[in-house]
A and B are shown apart, each in its own frame.
Chain A
Amino acid sequence: MKGWPEEIYGVLKAANVRQVGYVPDAGHKRLIELCLADRQMRAVVLSTEEEGVGLAAGAWLGGVRSALLMQSSGVGNCINHLGTVRECRFPLLMLVTMRGQKGEFNPWQVAMGQATPTVLQAMGVVVQEANTAAEIAPAVDEAARLAFGSYQAVAVLISQAVIGIKSFQDQASR
């Protein structure tokens, strides 16, 4: 049985996404591996998330569809560049794994995680929340159609309930 990262990968392939910018993230680990292994895709590791907004804009100028993977803390890094996306009406497909939600152990993740939908919406990004594994692939499919068909910036927020809660105590006790 395919997991949700494999399903997202299938949706990206079907949508003809050929560039994928990412900042390494535990929630997107499997999807990043699938993209890196695909010779028809160019997976671009970023030093900070806002680079990926520029990458996506450049790809679209060159006629190529892209996706941008990050965790919720990275959304904050992107804010000013989302203004460029809006002004130019660049399509943008963001897949965001959430931190700072129910059960979060690291208090430093909470402020940005809780503010993520509000911040994105303030910059004109359409937000689609996926709260179960089964909801993710359909949400990404709809988001891709909205982004590339209607030239919108769209973010799919993948709930921490799906990804799981990072347990620092478990890791520390190992």
Chain B
Amino acid sequence: MKTTLHRREVAEVLLSERKDLLVVAGLGSTAWDITAAGDSPLSFPLWGAMGNAAMIGLGLALAQPKRRVLVITGDGEMLMGMGSLATIGVQKPKNLSVVVIDNERYGETGMQRTHTAAGVDLAAVAKACGFLTTKRVSARSQLAALRTAIHRTPGPLFAQVKVVAEKIPLVLPPRDGGLLKARFRKALLGEGADLD
């Protein structure tokens, strides 16, 4: 698919005016993308757990039904956990969005082509699994509407955002898993998060 979108502008637009949005980012490029857009204690960037970003988002969305949850991940990460789209399709959480930043490459390992480069259609998979809304995005003009949908449209929502395959500087979040967990829970649940 032809695209002119750059991954960092996608993250910047989708995370602008994020209010109380809870964000889980898949390992690698999308973790760097959300950090470049501005680190937050309500972001949980993964450094491992490949294939499980969407499931972490599901557990969080079911635990916090009044908050909106965004999983932002790469095509390679999503491909590894494609069954989780079926699991989310069964649960149908209204407050969960899964956005795949799809550059059709494994960006951290040498830009090898992923299945999506060969035409595997993740948005069609999500639709077949029961996601209420699926979108394909490849132009900057579509990003604001996607951001609005992430905050307002009844989910589960899936968006496949095609971006240019490019090597860009890493912007690293903290990598201590215990720290990332503790800061998230404190920001979401308050100072007493771990006192019960």
Binding site for B on A (CB under 8 A): 18-19, 42, 44-48, 50-64, 66, 80-81, 83-84, 87-90
Contacts and interface: CB of A to CB of B under 8 A. Distances in A.
Interface string B175-193: 0011011001100110001
B90 interface: yes
Given A42-B62, A58-B57, A59-B63, 9 more contacts: A44-B62, A54-B81, A56-B59, A58-B60, A61-B63, A61-B181, A62-B63, A62-B188, A80-B50
17 contacts: A47-B83, A47-B87, A51-B87, A53-B55, A55-B58, A57-B52, A61-B63, A61-B181, A61-B184, A62-B61, A62-B63, A62-B64, A63-B64, A80-B49, A81-B49, A84-B49, A89-B177
Interface in B39-57: 44, 46-57
Given A54-B49, A56-B59, A46 B64 contact: no
Interface in B73-115: 81, 83-84, 86-87, 90-91
Contacts of A62: 22, 59-64, 188
A50 B188 contact: no
Contact of B87 (A18, A46, A57, A87): A46
B87 A84 contact: no
Nearest to A66: B59
Nearest to B189: A63
Contact of A53 (B52, B58, B86, B184): B52
Contacts of A60: 59, 181, 185
Contacts of B47: 87
B155 to A, nearest CB: 15
Contacts of A59: 59-60, 62-63
A63 B193 contact: yes
B150 interface: no
A131 B180 CA distance: 38
A80 B86 contact: no
B44 to A, nearest CB: 6
Contacts of A52: 55
A71 to B, nearest CB: 17
A48 B51 CA distance: 11
Nearest to B96: A58
Contacts of B185: 60-61, 63
Contacts of A81: 49, 52
Contacts of A66: 59
B14 interface: no
B24 interface: yes
A17 B44 CA distance: 23
B64 A80 contact: no
A87 B177 contact: yes
Contacts of B184: 61
Contacts of B180: 88
